[in-house]
Amino acid sequence: MGFRFNVALVFIMGFMAGVILPGCISYQFVRQLRGAEVMPPDSRLKAGRTTLSEVLSLYGAPEKIEALGDHDLLIYERTLYSNSGIAIGIPLGDFAMINPEISARGRLGRYDTLALFFTSDGILREMVYTKGSGYPYLKTILEEQSTSEAYIRD
């Protein structure tokens, strides 16, 4: 009998929570992914030797192509956005026309990027790879940027 009472109590509390809490506490997490995985450059890519044709057959069509003076840039990129938010409020709108609420939201964009620089003859000149999606979400978004600094190089 005591067991039944406890079950009923749990569901009463669940019902009250279901009715009251959605206006009080909410948490949301949304992930947006754009683009396919970008493989890091391996031993098949060699600056000064690898051709544009070889890169295209290995990596396929790039996401972006840019001309930089006398050389060209191919960019392979995957973008990962993570949005999260938590809100705590008191739903008094029906009684007092106000809904006091405090919320915290954040959006973090992380990029996996492979940038390949080619000469005008289509020979790989330089490559840069960054795996931004490996950064931890909370640590990265909560980390304060260092204060602004200016460097002047003579």
CA distance 38 to 18: 43
Whose Cβ is closer to another protein: residue 65's or residue 128's? 65
Judged by CB under 8 A, the residue of 44, 48, 53, 145 near another protein is 53
Whose Cβ is closer to another protein: residue 122's or residue 132's? 122
Q: Does 65 bind another protein (CB under 8 A)?
A: yes
Q: Does 39 bind another protein (CB under 8 A)?
A: no
Q: How far is CA 85 from CA 16, 20, 74, 115, in A?
A: 23, 19, 35, 33
Judged by CB under 8 A, the residue of 7, 47, 98, 141 near another protein is 7
Whose Cβ is closer to another protein: residue 16's or residue 142's? 16
Amino acid at residue number 39: M
Whose Cβ is closer to another protein: residue 53's or residue 145's? 53
Quote the least distance from Cβ 144 to another protein, whole Å: 26
Q: How many alpha carbons fall within 13 Å on the CB side of residue 126? A: 6
Quote the least distance from Cβ 134 to another protein, whole Å: 16
Judged by CB under 8 A, the residue of 42, 49, 61, 154 near another protein is 61
What SS3 state is found at 89? strand
CA distance 43 to 39: 12
Q: Sort 7 into a burial class: Cβ within 10 Å, 0-12 / 13-18 / 19+.
A: exposed
Quote the least distance from Cβ 82 to another protein, whole Å: 8
